[in-house]
């Protein structure tokens, strides 16, 4: 396996539990995660072990609090542990102080669990744009070396239109620097689409995805895949499985949520396995280190690029 600049694929897992998030959104309370997180994490680790690849896991603090054993297991298998914040809040909706506290709390929790440093961050809901670039400064203040939160396309809930699509070292207003590893986008009928994760990756047929990734690989473009544990599950999932007995909730809303959760999910594992077998994967940290090593002068952070 070559770990050089030609290796442009990264598998990133936003390690969170959708049952825990669904209940928090429903009740504003944090409860235990679903037991299914064991099976889902096991499937991902097995796939990575079989294909001899390393991935980056962006760990959500409120899940790690309940399952430090799983975080340690992921780290022990040689995968990179990075941060996904503490409470899974949209960073654009938080005050500067609350945003910093969320980052600091997750940093402390996760570094305590693994007994070592972390180097990267992904914001929940990809919630970094021009309105809160100060979050990048906070990451650099905490000693992180990269962020992977920016979608270089403006979508309804996130993203920055025309943001630089290349992995880049930026000089920040506070004089520090940070590597940004943007999420991968592609073109479809002259429209930009976020092709490398979530619902898009589930919905697009494998032959279409294969064509996109072959093209990106031949042009040595960065590919940042992002997935969640539940997307690897082989069984039907129900977000209310961890609701306390007698809890009132909207059946219609839950039906739609579960439908979205389960739709085309079984197609993810074969798609990812074939990518892991066909391309050369490195972690986010390795990618960020390569960018730093190969950058003579950082780019001034601004938009559009
Ligand atoms: Zn998330």
CATH number, domain of 221, equals: 3.20.20.370
Q: Report residue 281 as tokens.
A: 């994967």
- Is residue 1 in a domain? no
- Is residue 292 in a domain? yes
What spacing in Å lies between the alpha carbon of 205 and ligand 1's midpoint?
24
- Is residue 3 in a domain? no
What spacing in Å lies between the alpha carbon of 60 and ligand 1's midpoint?
7
What spacing in Å lies between the alpha carbon of 88 and ligand 1's midpoint?
6
What spacing in Å lies between the alpha carbon of 217 and ligand 1's midpoint?
27
Pairing of strands 191-193, 186-188: antiparallel
What spacing in Å lies between the alpha carbon of 293 and ligand 1's midpoint?
30
- Is residue 2 in a domain? no
What would the pLDDT profile of 90-107 be if each residue is shown by its tens digit? Answer: 999 999 999 999 999 999
Residue 6's pLDDT band (cuts 50, 70, 90):
low
What spacing in Å lies between the alpha carbon of 126 and ligand 1's midpoint?
8
Distance, in Å, from the CA atom of 250 to the CA atom of 295, rounded to the nearest integer, reads 52
- Is residue 4 in a domain? no
Can you tell me whether residue 176 is helix, strand or coil?
A: coil
What would the pLDDT profile of 59-86 be if each residue is shown by its tens digit? Answer: 999 999 999 999 999 999 999 999 999 9
pLDDT of residue 4: 46
Q: Which of 2-6, 150-154, 270-274 has the lowest mean pLDDT?
A: 2-6
What would the pLDDT profile of 198-237 be if each residue is shown by its tens digit? Answer: 788 888 888 989 999 998 988 888 899 999 999 999 888 8
List Cα–Cα distances, 187 to 12, 91, 94, in angstroms: 22, 28, 33
Element holding 180 (H helix, E strand): strand 177-180
What spacing in Å lies between the alpha carbon of 63 and ligand 1's midpoint?
11
Domain count, the chain: 1
What spacing in Å lies between the alpha carbon of 89 and ligand 1's midpoint?
9
**Per-residue pLDDT for 288 more than 50?**
yes
Q: Which domain holds residue 133?
A: 9-300
What spacing in Å lies between the alpha carbon of 297 and ligand 1's midpoint?
32
Can you tell me whether residue 170 is helix, strand or coil?
A: strand
């Amino acid at each position: 396996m070559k770990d050089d600049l030609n290796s442009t694929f990264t598998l990133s897992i936003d390690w969170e539990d959708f049952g825990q998030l669904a209940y928090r959104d429903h009740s504003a309370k944090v409860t235990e995660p679903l037991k299914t997180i064991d099976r889902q994490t096991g499937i991902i680790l097995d796939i990575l072990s079989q294909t001899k690849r390393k991935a980056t896991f962006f760990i959500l603090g409120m899940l790690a609090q309940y399952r430090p054993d799983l975080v340690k297991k992921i780290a022990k298998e040689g995968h990179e542990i990075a941060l996904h914040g503490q409470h899974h809040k949209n960073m654009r909706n938080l005050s500067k102080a609350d945003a910093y506290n969320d980052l600091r709390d997750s940093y402390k929790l996760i570094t305590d669990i693994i007994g070592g440093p972390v180097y990267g961050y992904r914001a929940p809901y990809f919630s970094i744009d021009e309105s809160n670039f100060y979050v990048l400064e906070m990451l650099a203040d905490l000693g992180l070396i990269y962020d992977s939160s920016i979608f270089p396309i403006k979508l309804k809930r996130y993203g920055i239109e025309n943001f630089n699509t290349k992995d880049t070292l930026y000089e920040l207003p506070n004089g520090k620097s940070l590597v940004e590893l943007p999420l991968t986008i592609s073109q479809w009928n002259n429209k930009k689409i976020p092709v490398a994760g979530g619902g898009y990756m589930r919905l697009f047929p494998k032959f279409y995805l294969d064509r996109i990734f072959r093209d990106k690989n031949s042009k040595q473009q960065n590919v940042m895949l992002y997935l969640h544990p539940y997307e690897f599950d082989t069984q039907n999932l129900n977000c209310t499985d961890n609701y306390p007995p007698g809890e009132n909730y909207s059946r219609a809303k839950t039906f739609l949520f579960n439908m979205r959760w389960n739709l085309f999910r079984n197609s993810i594992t074969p798609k990812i396995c074939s990518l892991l077998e066909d391309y050369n994967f490195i972690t986010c940290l390795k990618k960020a280190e390569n960018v730093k090593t190969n950058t003579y002068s950082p780019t001034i952070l601004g938009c559009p690029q």
